[in-house]
Structure 1
C-alpha cells in the first residue's frame, strides 16, 4: 500500500510590525474568483490564499502535506482509491462548517461545469468522489495515478462552501468563500484585492499572516514605476526584463531593498493549432519553424539574459528533463527549414496568425519571433495582442494559428508539463493527440516513487520534438523584490506553485 501526506505540520506565517497592510504588486490577471473556472497563475495565486485544499506543499518541498486534511493515503495497491480524513473544527471564513460534503461538492462541480478555462485537465483520472460521514472523503480514479495527491494540492483542489456556490455553473460576482489563511474583504477586478487574516483557519499554516493588499498592474512598466516610487512594498511577476536585470544582476547597490531569486519551473512555449484549416496542421511546417528559431537571440535581445533557452517540454531542474529539441534542431538553420518544407511539398511563404497576451516583453518577443521567421523567406506572420480573458477563450476555440503562452508548474513534478498540456483533455486545446504519448502519460502516472518515471518522460519529450505541437522557448527564475523592512518575500515563489502571502511581515 502506497501512502502520501500522513501526519501533520505547521508552515509558519509572517508576523510582527505595525499591522498596516503589505502591498504586493503583480501583473498577473485573475480570470475569475471561482476555482471551477480558472486554470492560470494569477487566479491560482489568489486561490492559494483564500481557499484551502486537502493537501499543500511546504516551502521548497516536493511532497504534499496535509492542510484541510489531517491525513490522506492510497487505500489500495493499484493507486485507484485515495482517502482523506478532514481536520476537526474546520470552518469557512464566513463561519460555516466545512465538511466532507463540501469537499465532494467542490470536485463534483469542476467535473460537471467543465469550463474551457477551468482545471478539469488536472482531474482527468478522477472518476468519482464520495463523502463518508462528515470527515472522510474517498476519491476513485479511472486509472492508477501516483500524482493524484500532487494535483489535489493545487488550485484544482480548492474547497468552496456548498451552500453558496451553484452546483452546475460558475458563481458570478466578486465574492470568495473559502477556508484558507485569508478572507477577501474587498476586490476590484484588475485593480486590487484586500486580504485580511481568516481567524477560522485551521491547517498547515500555524496562524494567519499579515493583512495584504494585492495591487494588479496593467503592464510591467506601470508596476516598475510604482516600485520606483515605493508605492508598493513587494513586486512579484513580472517586472520588465531590463528592470529585472538591473535589480537582480547587480548593476547598482541594493540599499533599501532585497531581491529574492528562486529556481522556478516558469516556462514559455510557442503553441501551434493543429486543427483542420490551420496552416500549421502540417508537421513539416511546425518542424521548419522549430529549425529556424534562434532562442539565444530571443533571450539576449528581448529578455536581457534574465531567461535561459529551453530545449524541452520539461524544464531544467525537474526530474525527466532532457534536451530533445536541441538534439533534433541543434542550431538555427534556415536551409534545413527550407528543405523540410520542400520535401513535404509545402509552398513558401507560409502565412499564419500569431497571438500573444499579457506578460513581460510579450510584444517585443512576438516582434522578434516574427522577424526571425520572416527573415528566412519561408513565413509571413500576422501578430496580434489580445486581452487576457479573450485570449484564453480564443485559443480554446482554435481562433489562432499559433500563440505564445507562459506555463508555470502547478506542482513540483514532471506530470504538470505533460498531462495537462498533452493529455486528451489538454488545457491548450491545440488539437494535438498521440496515442503513444497518452499511453506514456498513463505509464508515468503509475510510477512511485516519482523518480522512476524519469525515462518515460524523456521518451515523451522525444516524441514532442518529432511531432512539434509546440516549441519550448525559454525558462526563467522567479525574482521577488521587496523593501528591506518586509520579511518573507522569498516565500512567494519556490517552484511549488504557491504564492505564500501569509509569510509576509513587517520588521
Structure 2
C-alpha cells in the first residue's frame, strides 16, 4: 500500500537544520544532557508521581530506574532478567510458586544505610498495602507472603505459579526502599526519590512540574550495571519542536520520547551533519479503551461496530507513516503469542458490516460518542490521530463523534474514575512478555481500572498462561484470550510503533540507551567512541 507523502512543516524543518558546531559540552558542568517531552507534575489528585507504589508510566519509571535498585534487571539487549541488587535469584520449586533471592554483600542506600532483606520485604509489602488505584500493585498481587532469612535472603511465596515473576521483580514497582525514608502505608508526596541505584538525583522544579533531573554517580552503588558517565541531566520540554531546537543549539546531546513523525521523517530522508538518528527495537502499542459501564458503549454491539469501521491502515498512513504499523491484537507482532484476532473477526473495514451489527442489536439511531485523548503525553501526532478516527467513524453514517483533548495530569485521573466512555491510551510494556499486554487490561486491579470482567480470562486463562516457563508453549492460551477480546471489545488495538533516538555524533552508547520497553538506560551513554 502506498503511503501518502507528508509535507514537512517549515518549523519542523528549521529545527533540524545543520548544527552550529562548537567545541563545548551541552552543559557547562560537562554533563550528558537528554531531552524528553514527558511531563512530571505533582497535583492534588496525583501528589506522589515518583513513588514506586504509585508511578506507572514510562516517564516516571525512567527516573526511578536510575535511582531505585531492583533485585533483578533486564540486561542490555534484552533477554531474561539477571541479578542486580541480588547476587542470585531463582525458583526453588518446580511449580514456580516459591522464588528465592540472595542480596549482594555490602549493599547500601546512597546515604550509606545498609540494604537488607527486611528492606526488600518492606518495599514489596508497602506496594500491596497502599494498593494505589494507578494499577501498580497488580504486578505484585500474586505474592502471598514474603519471608526473610538473615540479612540477605528473601523468599517470595506466590499464590499461583508465575513464570513471569522474575520480570515483575525487575520493574520499579519492586524497587528497594528504605524504611527510614518511606512510610509503610502512605505515598511519599513530591519529587524526592531515595534508593541504592546507580545514580543519586536532584530535581529542579518549575512550579508544580519538574524542569530538570540531575543524576550523579552514586559512589555507594553495587550491582550489575556499569556506568559510562558520572553525570546525566534529563530535561523536560513542552513539545518535540522545542526539544529539537535544543538539539540544534547543542544544549542537549540526545532526544527521545517523543520525537515527532516530521522530525523522524526529515532525519531519515535528509540526514543532518552532526546528528545521528538511531532506530531501536520498540514494543509500544496504541489502543482505544471503553468504559463498558458507560451507557453510550455498554452494549457490546456499539464497540463491535467501532471495531468494524476503524481503518488502521489509513490511520497509520495518514498520521504516522513508516514509524508505525497496524495492530490487530493486544499483543504486538514481534512478541510471542501474537495473533490477528481483530482482523479475523471483522476483516477489512466495512460500514455495512458495522450497520448489520448495530441492527441486529436493535440500534437504529446514530450513536453519539466523545473520543477522549491526552494532548501532551504521547507526542504531537495524537491530535491528528484522533481527528482521523473521528472522521472515519463519522463517514460511516453510523456515528456522531466529537473529540476532547486533555492534559495528562487531568486526563489520567478522570479516566480512572470512569468519566470517559471511550478514550485513547498507549502502552509501553513493563517487560517483553505477552502476559504484560493482557493482564494490565484484563486482570484484577488493572491499569485501566475497567469495569469489564471476563471470568474465563481472569480466573482461568491468565493463570494458565503463567504456568509455562517456555513462553512459546503459552501461545495457544494467549490466542484464546485475544479471541475473547476481539469479541467483547473492551479495548481496540490500533497500531504498534517504532522507536527512534536522535543524538549528537560524539555521544556513544546511544543504541543501548533505550530498550524495547522504552526504558532509558542513561548509564550506557558516554562521550567519544568508547
Quote the Cα distance in structure 1 between the aligned partners of 2:471 and 2:29.
42
Q: Which moved more, 1:238-247 or 1:185-194?
A: 185-194
Q: Is the 8 A contact 2:33 2:234 kept in 1?
A: yes
Quote the Cα distance in structure 1 between the aligned partners of 2:423 and 2:219.
43
Structure 2, unpaired ranges of 5+: 1-26, 42-48
Q: What residue is the counterpart of 2:507 in the other structure?
A: 486
Q: Secondary structure at 1:274's aligned position in 2?
A: coil
Q: What residue is the counterpart of 2:286 in the other structure?
A: 268
Quote the Cα distance in structure 2 between the aligned partners of 1:163 and 1:302.
49
Q: Is the 8 A contact 2:246 2:252 kept in 1?
A: yes
Q: What residue is the counterpart of 1:106 in the other structure?
A: 123
Quote the Cα distance in structure 1 between the aligned partners of 2:364 and 2:240.
40
Query: What is the 5 A alignment of 1:51-450?
Result: 51-188=68-205, 189-207=209-227, 209-247=229-267, 250-275=268-293, 277-357=294-374, 358-360=377-379, 361-438=381-458, 439-450=460-471
Q: Secondary structure at 2:269's aligned position in 1?
A: coil
Quote the Cα distance in structure 1 between the aligned partners of 2:525 and 2:240.
22
Deviations 1:144-185 (A, max 9, x none): 111101111112211111111011111122211011111102
Q: What residue is the counterpart of 2:3 in the other structure?
A: none
Q: Which moved more, 1:150-159 or 1:283-292?
A: 150-159
Q: Secondary structure at 1:37's aligned position in 2?
A: coil
Q: What residue is the counterpart of 2:14 in the other structure?
A: none
Q: Is the 8 A contact 2:130 2:186 kept in 1?
A: yes
Quote the Cα distance in structure 2 between the aligned partners of 1:39 and 1:129.
23
Q: Secondary structure at 1:336's aligned position in 2?
A: helix
Quote the Cα distance in structure 1 between the aligned partners of 2:421 and 2:116.
45
Q: 2:473 aligned with 1:452, yes or no?
A: yes
Quote the Cα distance in structure 1 between the aligned partners of 2:464 and 2:325.
30
Q: Is the 8 A contact 1:110 1:118 kept in 2?
A: no
Q: 2:520 aligned with 1:499, yes or no?
A: yes
Q: 2:39 aligned with 1:29, yes or no?
A: yes
Q: 2:465 aligned with 1:462, yes or no?
A: no
Q: Is the 8 A contact 1:181 1:209 kept in 2?
A: no
* Residues 118 and 326 of structure 1, relative CA distance in 2, 3 Å threshold: closer
Quote the Cα distance in structure 1 between the aligned partners of 2:106 and 2:512.
28
Quote the Cα distance in structure 2 between the aligned partners of 1:455 and 1:210.
47
Q: Secondary structure at 1:121's aligned position in 2?
A: helix
| TM-score, length of structure 2 as denominator length | 0.89
Q: What residue is the counterpart of 2:22 in the other structure?
A: none
Deviations 1:59-100 (A, max 9, x none): 122211000000111112221111111000101112111111
Q: Secondary structure at 1:53's aligned position in 2?
A: coil
**Count of residue pairs the alignment pairs up:** 488
Q: Secondary structure at 1:269's aligned position in 2?
A: strand
Q: Is the 8 A contact 2:135 2:446 kept in 1?
A: no
Deviations 1:437-471 (A, max 9, x none): 12111101000122211121112111111111111
Q: Is the 8 A contact 1:261 1:477 kept in 2?
A: yes
Q: Secondary structure at 1:370's aligned position in 2?
A: helix
Q: What residue is the counterpart of 1:14 in the other structure?
A: none
Q: Which moved more, 1:487-496 or 1:153-162?
A: 487-496
Quote the Cα distance in structure 1 between the aligned partners of 2:404 and 2:28.
46
Q: What residue is the counterpart of 1:7 in the other structure?
A: none
- Deviation of 1:18 after TM superposition, in Å, equals 10
Quote the Cα distance in structure 1 between the aligned partners of 2:127 and 2:271.
48
Q: Is the 8 A contact 2:128 2:141 kept in 1?
A: no
Q: Which moved more, 1:470-479 or 1:201-210?
A: 201-210
Quote the Cα distance in structure 2 between the aligned partners of 1:313 and 1:184.
35
Q: Is the 8 A contact 1:60 1:496 kept in 2?
A: no
Structure 1, unpaired ranges of 5+: 1-16
Q: Is the 8 A contact 2:279 2:499 kept in 1?
A: yes
Deviations 1:112-165 (A, max 9, x none): 111112511211211221222211111111111111011111122111111110
- Deviation of 1:19 after TM superposition, in Å, equals 6.8
Q: 2:508 aligned with 1:476, yes or no?
A: no
Quote the Cα distance in structure 2 between the aligned partners of 1:41 and 1:71.
27
Q: What residue is the counterpart of 1:4 in the other structure?
A: none
| TM-score, length of structure 1 as denominator length | 0.93
Q: Is the 8 A contact 1:28 1:216 kept in 2?
A: yes
